[in-house]
Structure 1
Amino acid sequence: MSRAEDPAPPGRPLPQLSLDTEFFWTSGADGKLRVQCCRSCDALIHPPQPICRYCRGHDLGVRVVSGEATLAGFTVNHRFALPGLPPPYVVAQAALVEDPRVRLTTNIVDADPGTLVLGMRLEVVFRQESDVWLPLFRPTAEQPETAALPIDEIAPERFGEYVRPMVRQKKFEDDVALTGIGMSRLGRRLMVPPLALTVEACERAVADAGLTMSEIDGLSSYPGGGNLGGFGEGGVGALEAALGVRPTWYNGGIETFGPGGSVIAAMLAVSAGLARHVLCFRTLWESTFAEMTKSGRITPSGGRTTNWMHPFGATSAAHTLAQNAQRHFHRYGTTRETLGWIALNQRANAAANPTAIYRDPMTMQDYLDARPITTPFGLYDCDVPCDGAIAVIVSAVDAAADLARPPILVEAAGTQIIERIEWDQSTLTHEPQVLGPAAHLWSRTTMRPEDVDVAELYDGFTFNCLSWIEALGFCKIGEAKDFLDGGRNISRDGMIPINTHGGQLSHGRTHGMGLLHEAVAQLRGAAGERQVADARVAVVSSGGLTPGGALLLRTAS
C-alpha cells in the first residue's frame, strides 16, 4: 500500500465524517486500509453497522486489511462531470481479498481503462483531500492468474426459496381497483411550475374516473416533499394546499418501491377502510430544473455527502447498473446488441404514441454509434429526462362498479426485499431489488408468466428492463441474449409485448408511473394504434435501484 504523491484536485464531493465512518475515511493517513469487522464470526462489514448482519453479533471492531482486492466491476464514465474529476474516469468496485463480500466503490488510477479486466488484482493507493484520505485502487505490478468474480449471497435462480409465505389467505389486492388515470403535458423544458403539472394530471384522473374532487379522500405520492430538485413538486402537502381536498388518509415518502410504492400504500389504506378513493401522483420537472440551474436561476445545494459512492464520481444509478450489466455480459454472454433490442423496441412503440418525446425511427447502428455515457451504456440506453405528471386513482372495489370506466383489478403485488439495499453491495448480475419482488409477486397468485398479455417494465436504463424480463420469468436467468435477439419476442405482436407506449427510454422518464398509466390503458383496450389485441393481464414494475415493486393487473372479465 502507498499514498499517492499528488493530492486530488479540489472540488469532488467529500464524505461527511461521522462517529461511525471517520475511521474509514481517515485511515489512509498512515497508508493502511481499515474496515469494520465482527470479532464473533470474523466477517468484514461495509458500510459500518452497529450489528453484524451475518451472525447478529455486537462485538465489533476495526481491522487493518492488506489493501489488496479483485476488480469486481468497472465502468468508464464519459458523461458525468464533477469539479476536480473531469471525464473520462473509471468508477469501479474492488472486492477485498480478505472478504470479497465487501466491495468498495472507488476509482481506478494509474491504468489505461482499455487494459482493465474483471478479476485482475488491485492494490489501494490513498489520495488526500482536506481531512479525508480517499482509497483509490490501481492494478498491481505483478498480476496473478485472473481471479473468479465474487458470487451473490443468493444465486439469482434461488430467490423464490427466500419468499415469505402469505400470512393469511385473504389478500388486500382483492379489495381495490384502479379507476382513473391522468397525464399532464409531457415534454422537454416546458418551463411550467411543477405543481401546475401535478394538478393537471390529477384533474384528468378524477374526471377519467367519473369522480369529483370532493369525493377524493386520500392522497399518496412518491417521493414526497423536501428539497428534491427536479424530482418533485412538493409532495402531498403542496397538492392538498392547492386542491383543498381534506383527505382522511395521506402518504408521501421516498423509502418505498418508487411510484408503485405509493400506489401499493394507497391500496393498503383502501383495504383497511381509511379511504374510498385515493389520488396517487408522480411529477418530474427535470428538464426545466436543469435549464434553470444552467442559467443560474436555481443554485444547487452543496456540502459534504453521506453517500459512499459520490466521492468517487459515482453520482448516477448508471454507474452501478453499468457494472451490473458488465458482469451480466461476462457471466452470460450478453452483448450491447442485446440491450439495443430493448431500446429499438421502445422506440418503435413510441412511434405509435403521440405523447412520446422521441418518435423518430432508430436502427441498431444508430444505437451502437450513439455517444457513450458510462460503459457499456450509450445515449439510447438511458431514459429521457422530461417534465410531466401522472396520476392514478385507487378505489374500493365495491365503489368501482358504479364509476365511469370498467375497473382494473389487482391480482397481486410483489414487494419483498431479499437483496441487500446498498447499491454497491447488492446483487451482482441484475438490477438490485428486482429478483426479490418478482419472486414475491408470483407467490401471491396462481397466475404465471405465460398468462401475462403485456408487460410494462421499469426501463430507467435498458439493463433495468432486461433484469425484470429475467426476474419475472419471461425467459430464464441468463437467457436474455437469445430471448431478445431480433426483438421479435418483445414486440407488440410478440410473445410478451413490452413497454408498449415507448417506455421511459422514448416516451419519457416518469419513474414508472407512466408504465402503470399505460398498463391501465392497455387493459381498457384504449391504447389506440399501440393496442395489444385481447390484453387481459398486465404486469407493471417500478423502482430503479430503490426497493423495487411489481403489480399484476387484470380485467374484471
Structure 2
Amino acid sequence: MTKFEHSAIISGIGRSDIGRRLGRSELSLTVQAARSAIADAGLEPSDIDGLIAWPGEYPAPAGFTGPSPWRLKDALRLNLNWHMAAQEGPGQLAAVMSAIMAVHSGVCRHVLVYRACAESTGQSGGGRTSVNPIDDGGITGYLQWLRPFGAVSAANWVALNYQRYLQTTGTSRAQVAWLPINQRRNAALNPAAIYTDPLTVEEYLSARMISDPVCLYDCDVPADGAVALVVSAVEVAGDTPRPVRIEAIGSAVGRPSGWDQWRSPTDMAATDAAAHLWTRTDLTPADVDVAALYDGFSFLTIVWLEVLGFCKPGEAADFVDGGKRIALDGELPLNTGGGQLSSGRLHGYGHLFEACTQLRGDAEEARQVSAAEVAVVAAGGGPHGGCLLLTR
C-alpha cells in the first residue's frame, strides 16, 4: 500500500525539563526542546523550513497555549517556507499530521513540531487551567447547556460518560485503578517522571473525588515542559541516525461534537479516528508492541483501548485488571513512561516522545520494551481525537 505517510519520517525528538512550577517561560522550555530535537535529527536550525505548534496562542488560561510559531521562529532565527498552529483538527496530533502533509506536498523538507505549556506555574497564581473561561460575549455554543448546571470542566464532562460506562458494563473502579497503578510503576523507572511513589488500589479508592466517579488519581498532572520533533522528507533524511517511520494516521471524525449527543459512553471522536487508522495499514492491533494512549483521565485510556481493538467493547477494565497484561513485560505494554497521570500533562506529546524512545531502544534498561517494532500513539478525548501508528 503506497500512502502519503510513507513520504515522511520522524527524524529527531527533543524534550525540555519537565516538572511542577519550574518558574521558566514557555518560550524558554520550547527553545530547549526544539534545539534538542534538531540536534537529534543531525540538523541545524538553518535546515528547518516548516514550523507548527499545537495549539498556538489564543485566549486561554495562563500557561496553556505555549508560544506562537512566530515567537519561536524569531527565537531560533528560522527561515520558513510554511508555518501554522493547529488548534483545530483531529486532536492534539493534528500538528504532526499537518507536518506530514506539508512534507508530502513538497513545500517543506524538515518541519519542526512542538507542544509547550506551563500549566503548573499558571495555576500557582490561583487559576484553574481546566476550566473553560467565559469571554465578554457570555456563554455560547455547547457550553450554554453545561455551565449553568455546574459542568465547567472536562473532568465533569468525562465523569458523566464514565459513570454511565460503569453502570452499563458492570465495571468497578477497583479494576480501573490498575491504569494509574501500572503507570506509577512505569514512572518509577523514568527519571523524567514527576510522581514516582507506589500507588495501591486502596489509596486509589480512598482518594478525594474531583467529579464522581473521577478521583484525583484519574486526572493527569498539570506540568511545565515542552516536547518537539522534526518531521522530515524521506528523500532528504537519508543520514538520519535513528528514524521513526510513520505507518498510518487516524484522523476521521463523524460523531456529533456535543458530549450529550453520543449514543454510548465511549462513542467519542476516538471511535472514528481509530477505525480510520486501521484502514490505512495492513498491520493489526495484534502487531502493536507498545501503546501510548491518552490519559487526560483514566476513562479516556479505557475508551482508546476499546476503540483501537485491543479488547472488545465493555471489556477494557477486565483487560487492565491486575496490571499484568499492560505491564512492561505484558501483552500490551501501556504508557511505559508513566503517562500524563504520573509524568505530566503535555497533551499527548509526552506519549509521542515515549513511543519514539521505545522504538529506538533508548529507554532506560529497566523499562525498555523488548524488541519494540510497532507503536500506536493516541491523543484526545470527547469531540477531539487522532492517532498514529509508528514503526522502526
Q: Please say which structure displays the higher CA radius of gyration.
A: 1
- Deviation, 1:536, is 0.2
Q: 2:25 — aligned with what?
A: 193
Q: 1:471 — aligned with what?
A: 307
5 Å-filtered alignment, 1:169-318, equals: 170-229=2-61, 230-293=63-126, 303=136, 304-306=138-140, 307-308=143-144, 309-318=146-155
- Deviation, 1:481, is 2.6
The alignment status of 1:337 with 2:169, answered yes or no, reads no
Q: Distance in 2 between matches of 1:293 and 1:546?
A: 28
Q: Distance in 1 between matches of 2:76 and 2:126?
A: 29
Q: 2:232 — aligned with what?
A: 395
The alignment status of 1:435 with 2:267, answered yes or no, reads no
Q: 1:319 — aligned with what?
A: 156
- Deviation, 1:546, is 4.5
Identify the structure with the greater helix proportion: 2
**Which amino acid letter does the alignment assign opposite residue 353 of structure 1?**
N
- Deviation, 1:311, is 2.6
- Deviation, 1:472, is 0.6
SS of 1:324's partner is helix
The alignment status of 1:517 with 2:350, answered yes or no, reads no
Q: Distance in 2 between matches of 1:191 and 1:363?
A: 32
Q: Distance in 2 between matches of 1:314 and 1:238?
A: 35
Q: Distance in 2 between matches of 1:535 and 1:316?
A: 37
The verdict on how the C-alpha distance between 1:440 and 1:517 changes in structure 2, with shifts beyond 3 A counting, is same
Q: 5+ unaligned residues in a row in structure 1: which ranges?
A: 1-168, 295-299
CA deviations on 1:42-63 (whole Å, 9 max, x unpaired) are xxxxxxxxxxxxxxxxxxxxxx
- Deviation, 1:225, is 1.7
Q: Distance in 2 between matches of 1:302 and 1:413?
A: 35
For the 8 Å contact 2:86–2:94, the answer to whether it is kept is no
- Deviation, 1:293, is 4.2
Higher relative contact order (CA 8 A, sep 6+): 2
For the 8 Å contact 1:258–1:511, the answer to whether it is kept is no
For the 8 Å contact 2:114–2:227, the answer to whether it is kept is yes
The alignment status of 1:357 with 2:190, answered yes or no, reads no
Q: Distance in 2 between matches of 1:292 and 1:270?
A: 41
For the 8 Å contact 1:258–1:512, the answer to whether it is kept is no
Q: 5+ unaligned residues in a row in structure 2: which ranges?
A: 128-132
Q: Distance in 1 between matches of 2:90 and 2:122?
A: 24
**Which amino acid letter does the alignment assign opposite residue 216 of structure 2?**
L
Q: TM-score, normalised by structure 2?
A: 0.94
**Which amino acid letter does the alignment assign opposite residue 469 of structure 1?**
L
For the 8 Å contact 1:225–1:253, the answer to whether it is kept is no
For the 8 Å contact 1:431–1:464, the answer to whether it is kept is no
**Which amino acid letter does the alignment assign opposite residue 163 of structure 2?**
Q
- Deviation, 1:242, is 1.7
For the 8 Å contact 1:226–1:234, the answer to whether it is kept is no
- Deviation, 1:239, is 1.1
Identity level (%)? 48
CA RMSD of aligned residues (A): 1.6
For the 8 Å contact 1:222–1:258, the answer to whether it is kept is no
Q: Distance in 2 between matches of 1:332 and 1:266?
A: 39
- Deviation, 1:548, is 0.5
5 Å-filtered alignment, 1:59-78, equals: none
5 Å-filtered alignment, 1:99-178, equals: 170-178=2-10
For the 8 Å contact 1:431–1:463, the answer to whether it is kept is no
- Deviation, 1:246, is 1.9
